[in-house]
Amino acid sequence: MTRFAVASETGWLREVLLCPPDHYRWIPTNAVVRRTLAAGAQPDPRDLRTQHDELAAALREAGVAVQVLPPEPHLPYMAYTRDQAVVTPWGPVLCQLERPQRRGEYAAVLDWHAAQGSGFWRKSSAGTLEGGDVHILRPGLAAIGASGGRTDEAGATQLAGWLRAEGWECRVEPFDEHFLHLDVLFCMAAPGLAVACVDVLGEAFLGWLAAHDIRAIPVPYRDAMRLGCNILALGGGRVISSRGSTALNAALRAEGLTVFDPDLSLFTAGGGGPHCLTCPLVRDETA
C-alpha cells in the first residue's frame, strides 16, 4: 500500500518529489539540449543549484511539502523526477526509461519509495514509458503520449490498459519524437484549461480535449521548444511557469491564475521545465 495518490494534474498539490542537481550536466539526449550544447559550455553548478532552490522555494511558498530524492553521481538527469515514476490514484507506477544514460535511475526511485513504506501499484514492463508523456487530466480521464522515442506504443498501451481496467478513458496520442515528451507540447494549467503547441498537436487531439471541455492557450512552436508549455499546476488557481515564458505567463495571468515564475533557464536549456523537474506525490482530487 502507499500513501501517495494523484487523481488529476490540477488538484491541489500537497507533496512533491525533487532531486537536487548536484551532478546535473547537459547531455545530448534530446533535440533541445543538442542545440544548447552546440552553442556553449556546461552550466555552472552553483547557478544550477540557485535555480533549483528557487523552484523549491516557490513550491514551499505555495504550501507544498518538498521531498528529496538523493542524487547519484553517475546519473546527471535525475533532477527530472517526472520521468521516473507516475503517481496514480492507486499509487505509483514505476516507469521504464528509454535513454541508456537514465535507465539506472529506477534503483534510487525503488529505494526511496521503500524507505517511505510506499509500494508500487504497477511497474512498466512493456516497451518504454516515461512520466513526461503521462497526463492524468482529471479523475477518470488521461492522455499518454507515444512518440516511439521516450515512450513507445507498447509502454503507452500497457499503462492505458491498466487505467481502462479501472474504468478510465485514456487516449494514446502519437507525436514526433523530436519533441521529446508530450509535456513539451501540452500541460494542464487549471481545471478545463491547458497550454498547448497548437501548431504541432493535431486537430484530432485538440478536438478530443474540447469534447471533454478542455480549452487550450496556444503556445507557438518556438516557445514550446524552449519548454514554454512545460508548466506545473498547483491547484487553487496557481501555476509554476519558467520566468522566460513571458508571453505565456501574461496569458495565464489574464486567465486569473497566480503565476510563480522561478528562473529555470539552465534546466529548460537541457530539455526540462517545472513539469519535468517535479514528481507530484499527493494531490487533492479537486483544485
pLDDT of residue 247: 97
Residue 3 confidence (pLDDT) above 90? no
pLDDT of residue 17: 98
**How many C-alpha atoms does 180 have within 13 Å on its Cβ side?**
27
Question: What Cα–Cα distance (Å) separates residue 57 from each residue in 62, 240, 263?
Answer: 9, 11, 12
pLDDT tens digits, one per residue of 5-24: 999 999 999 999 999 999 99
**How high does pLDDT run on average in the chain?**
95
Kindly state the average pLDDT of the residues 169-182. Answer: 96
Contact 205, 173 (CB under 8 A): yes
pLDDT of residue 63: 98
Residue 286 confidence (pLDDT) above 90? no
Residue 41 confidence (pLDDT) above 80? no
Of 193, 149, 153, nearest in space to 173 by CA: 153
pLDDT of residue 13: 98
pLDDT tens digits, one per residue of 101-133: 999 999 999 999 999 999 999 999 999 999 999
Q: What share of the chain has pLDDT > 70, as a percent?
A: 99
Kindly state the average pLDDT of the residues 270-283. Answer: 96
Rg (CA), the chain: 17
Kindly state the average pLDDT of the residues 256-269. Answer: 96
pLDDT tens digits, one per residue of 45-84: 999 999 999 999 999 999 999 999 999 999 999 999 999 9
pLDDT confidence band for 256 (50 / 70 / 90): very high
Kindly state the average pLDDT of the residues 174-182. Answer: 94
What residue spans define the domains of the chain? 13-283
Kindly state the average pLDDT of the residues 25-38. Answer: 81
> For the whole model, what pTM was predicted?
0.95
Contact 249, 261 (CB under 8 A): yes
pLDDT of residue 1: 59
Backbone angles phi, psi at 105, to 5 degrees: -65, -25
pLDDT of residue 75: 97
pLDDT confidence band for 29 (50 / 70 / 90): confident
pLDDT of residue 2: 72
Contact 126, 158 (CB under 8 A): yes
Contact 130, 80 (CB under 8 A): no
Architecture per CATH, 13-283 = 5-stranded Propeller (3.75)
